[in-house]
Amino acid sequence: MRALLMVSANDAAVALAEANGGLKKTLADMNKEAHRLQAYDTVAKTPNGLDAPGQRSSAYDLALIARAGLAMPDFRKYISTKIAKFPAPKDYLKKNKKKRRDDADAEASESPPPAYYEMANHNRLLGRYKGMIGVKNGWTSKALGSFVGAARRDGHTILVVIMHHPGSFWEEVAKLLDWGFAVRGKATPVGRLVSPLPDHPKPSTLAVRPSPTPGVVGVADARGVSAKGTRMATPALIGGGVLVVLALGAYGLRRRRKTPGDATG
């Protein structure tokens, strides 16, 4: 899980899927969970977010998914880890003697120290931005740069979502977080993140309604949020005690639109 969430290890995503019963079952589980979260823009076709026909997501959905992840203690621990050790192959020490502290002592020892690879979290704001928790960045040729980031100050959490960014977005994310903390309690939310479906939901229409006015973000109730604007637009939503700031793609996003997304990548 650390390899998956810290360094976008796509092969780790496949290994976890195989351990879960196979790719087909895991993708079905992923899409079922997306539906439970009411992330209706999201369709998973790969376990790691790499580009695939028909795969898509949206900034709104990534906020829903990140909120669900942040509710899990283990998930919060993984995404906030700065540096971790990843086990290396059994013959790693033998093939890489230069990395051994003392060749002679290691050869004489019946139980040489375990070998490992050291990996650092790809989140460049972790440890640099005050209150940064996580969550995940990614990049693919179709989705371009994506990032879901959460920071917490004075008991309040702000979540920023970036999608379809052509370059480095770290400075922009920091500015969006700064804006979110500065306007908390002052700005009027454009909507609310929907809650996960109950275990036995009653038949109902999708919790997605298009914005009545072109170019205007959101609706005023908890049924969902439509979004359309420029990349530096900063619509804000409230959900589960989390303020969400969505930085929208330059081409515009709208609920239900088929927008390429990235889970790890």
What are the boundaries of each domain within the chain? 2-85+120-247
Q: Which CATH number describes the domain made up of 2-85+120-247? A: 3.40.710.10
pTM for this structure?
0.76
Which pLDDT score, from 0 to 100, does residue 60 have?
Answer: 95
**Confidence category of residue 120, pLDDT binned at 50, 70, 90:** very high
Give the closest residue to 118 by CA, choosing from 87, 94, 75, 90: 87
Question: What's the CA gap between 100 and 159, in Å, rounded?
Answer: 42
Q: What is the pLDDT of residues 147-170, one digit of tens each?
A: 999 999 999 999 999 999 999 999
51-96: pLDDT as tens digits: 999 999 999 999 999 999 999 999 999 999 999 999 888 777 777 6
Alpha helices, H only, the chain: 2-7, 10-19, 23-36, 59-70, 73-79, 92-95, 103-108, 170-183
Mean pLDDT for the chain overall:
80
Residue 191 to residue 189: CA distance in whole angstroms: 5
| Cα 28 off chain centre by | 19
E-assigned strand segments in 121-208: 132-140, 144-153, 156-165, 191-192
Q: Give tens-digit pLDDT for 205-230.
A: 444 433 433 333 332 222 333 333 33
Q: What is the pLDDT of residue 90?
A: 76
Q: Determine the pLDDT at residue 203.
A: 52
- State the pLDDT at residue 221: 28
For residue 52, the SS3 value is coil
